[in-house]
Amino acid sequence: MNCIPLPPTGLLKSWHFLSILDNLLLIKKIVPFTPSASAQYELVDREIQQLTVKAAVSQSYKIPTLNDRYWVPGGNPSLIPEQGTSWESGLIFQRNFKGKGALKSEVTYYRMDVENWIIWLPQGNIWTPSNIRNVKNQGVELTTEGNYSMGSVKLKANINYAYNQARNQTRINSNDRSFGKQLPYTPLHKMQWNVRAQKDDFEVFINQVYTGERYDTSDNESIVAPFTLWNTGINYQWTFFKFSGNVGMQIFNVLNEQYQTMKLRAMPGRNYQINLNFNL
């Protein structure tokens, strides 16, 4: 791994070039050359806020795992490695609030072109992996996280959203209805947010997780419904003589949502967890 800093020029505040060159030997076979490079350019660099543009490009080579090949039942010893090229670009915005808090937001566009994509799909009652000759995977990721103090109360929050378009680019024959369709069990939309509040030794949190609809067939004719989960909990940090730890309670799926991550596989309704940890 080589990291090469370039000197600032004009509006250029900082510039980093990262180059990773891998060439490995595995099971008597030479893994293809997989270089990658990334760069960042600070458009704005002020005391209380920064704006940075980023970009990266890389090649990848993924060998099937032992589970992919030999899991019983369902493993596929005839799998071949994935190979692909990916690139991404985006913006990073950071702002601090004079010692009271900070905010960071990031937006990233990415694209991957992968040959021999490995995907697990059901064959009857058994899940088994196979290769898809070519997949174009592209999308946008948005993340924001921040913290703020109001006296003795500390607030933390984050939100993540992903739009992921992963489509089969291989047509086996003229009747292939999977060509150009979204890969099974890959949602177009996913979102999650979390808010935490801490005062002295107590902390409470609430979060929401949304998973959009997913197709369970390669021709996108059948849909697994989207779902939204709410979770909450409370934690207390305790000290007793020389001992310390925390005790907490969490409630998952607060609204008792009926949902499936895989078709015909029901997931738990409202459920609870109590934890007690000791530090010796």
Beta strands in 97-226 (DSSP E): 101-123, 126-150, 153-168, 189-199, 202-211, 214-215, 223-224
| CATH number of the domain to which 259 belongs | 2.40.170.20
**Number of domain units in the chain:** 1
Q: What average pLDDT score do residues 195-217 get?
A: 95
pLDDT at 85 (0 to 100): 94
pLDDT tens by residue, 81-134: 999 999 999 999 999 998 899 999 999 999 999 999 898 888 878 889 988 879
CA gap 74, 54 in Å, rounded: 41
pLDDT tens by residue, 157-170: 999 999 999 999 88
Contact present, 95 and 103 (Cβ < 8 Å)? yes
The kind and range of the H/E element at 232 are: strand 227-240
Q: What is the DSSP letter of 192?
A: E
Say which residues have a Cβ less than 8 Å from residue 141's Cβ, sequence separation at least 6.
Answer: 106, 107, 108, 110, 160, 161, 162, 163
Reading the block at residue 224, the tokens are 């697994």
CA gap 248, 96 in Å, rounded: 31
Q: What is the DSSP letter of 99?
A: T
Burial 184-200 (b: 16+ CB within 10 A, else e): bbbbbebbbebebebee
Q: Residue 7 sits in which domain range?
A: 2-279
